[in-house]
A = this chain, B = another copy of it.
């Protein structure tokens, strides 16, 4: 636990340039720690943040890649944290701090899984390659570039990749995640007058770019929860029958979700349950908006610009580049003549849907049962892990999503946490997986 706290103390916020040294320092710390376990550990430089690569175990046989990320989300809004975001604190069975669940704590289960096998069995019966990136939260392409460039070597003996960066179905209920939503991100700015103008002198004569942005965003999602960007739902299919039955069987508690999210009632596309909407339906969110005077008190101006950070969650059938294109076209069409739309940034990751019958998936289900003592569920996840589609596509092997977090952990939110018990059982499951894969080739 103290080792993990050392890992968490690094403010490795990859989206903020000011944290550049923290990100790199964190990578170096992790490399040294993995080397201390006897693995061949190194920093692999990329165009952005370095990848921590560490390799160990029996060579020439089966290989498993463990993916994780050592970077974290910004701590913003800072004022809502009850304890310091980068000074992890244990309280009532949880470890609190930025990165505890996303993803340092979850990665730690595999670090400890490897350590446990090494201590108990003396050696790893399977070759383990850690690939831990530092650009998951900022959409960097370093890991992708590396995997593409080294796909041939990485494929040798590869059974598949293991990723713990998603949620369990609930407390004490482990799960294998077979589907991830994709994501499309877009930052746009609407330009108005050349400078902030006095709203008394100019009001009535000059268009307001915040008003323009409100018109535009107002026509991106309807009050019925349906996204209004033309072409947005093109290719989106319905869930398979076994998935509907699985959802039915799970008996998801929507009231508990509402209470946990702090809303009076859930909301979304009418006629579909919350679990279906989160797992298998695409969404359009404004993640942030700003324009004009946002300080204390008032300032009677017509602002010179307004900016929105948008992101969409995608499901199988959608491709992020097409969704970004369709959204930009829609916004351009909606932008009034008095304003000008500028696209500042865009990026994304395609959705993933895994075959639940592969060898690695089945081994993962058994390992989770061994670690947690209960039968795991098969679930999908509303979140996105850009690298999963890259790993699957480039390495031609399945990806086992063995999430150890909880939706209530507050990933990306203030007071992020991770259940200590789940980390311990997750480490046991990781060790069980490595032992199984090692035995199956012996």
Contact = CB atoms under 8 A, between A and B. Distances in A.
A201 interface: yes
B261 A198 contact: no
A90 to B, nearest CB: 21
A296 to B, nearest CB: 5
Contact of A215 (B199, B223, B337, B381): B223
Interface string A61-87: 000000000000110110010000000
A141 B426 CA distance: 63
A281 interface: yes
A303 interface: yes
A313 B223 contact: no
A117 interface: no
Contact of A196 (B200, B283, B290, B413): B413
Nearest to A292: B288
A422 to B, nearest CB: 16
Contacts of A205: 254, 257, 261, 266-268, 274, 277-278
A285 interface: yes
Interface residues of A, number: 102
Contact of A203 (B206, B285, B296): B285
Interface stretch (A124-132, A152-160, A186-194, A356-364): A186-194
A264 B15 CA distance: 35
Contacts of A254: 205
A292 B292 contact: no
A371 interface: no
A28 interface: no
Most buried by B among A218, A290, A304, A412: A412
B211 A313 contact: no
A287 B300 contact: yes
Contacts of A389: none
Given A298-B185, A309-B293, A285 B16 contact: no
A161 to B, nearest CB: 20
A291 interface: yes
A195 interface: yes
Contacts of A192: 263
A15 B298 contact: yes
A365 interface: no
A218 B207 contact: no
B297 A288 contact: no
25 contacts: A15-B299, A76-B295, A138-B298, A185-B298, A194-B263, A196-B412, A197-B413, A198-B383, A199-B313, A201-B381, A203-B283, A204-B283, A204-B313, A205-B267, A206-B263, A207-B263, A207-B268, A208-B286, A214-B218, A218-B218, A264-B338, A265-B338, A287-B302, A298-B347, A300-B384
Given A16-B296, A199-B287, A214-B289, 15 more contacts: A16-B297, A17-B296, A76-B295, A80-B195, A181-B203, A199-B412, A201-B383, A204-B313, A210-B217, A214-B216, A285-B300, A288-B299, A298-B311, A298-B347, A300-B384
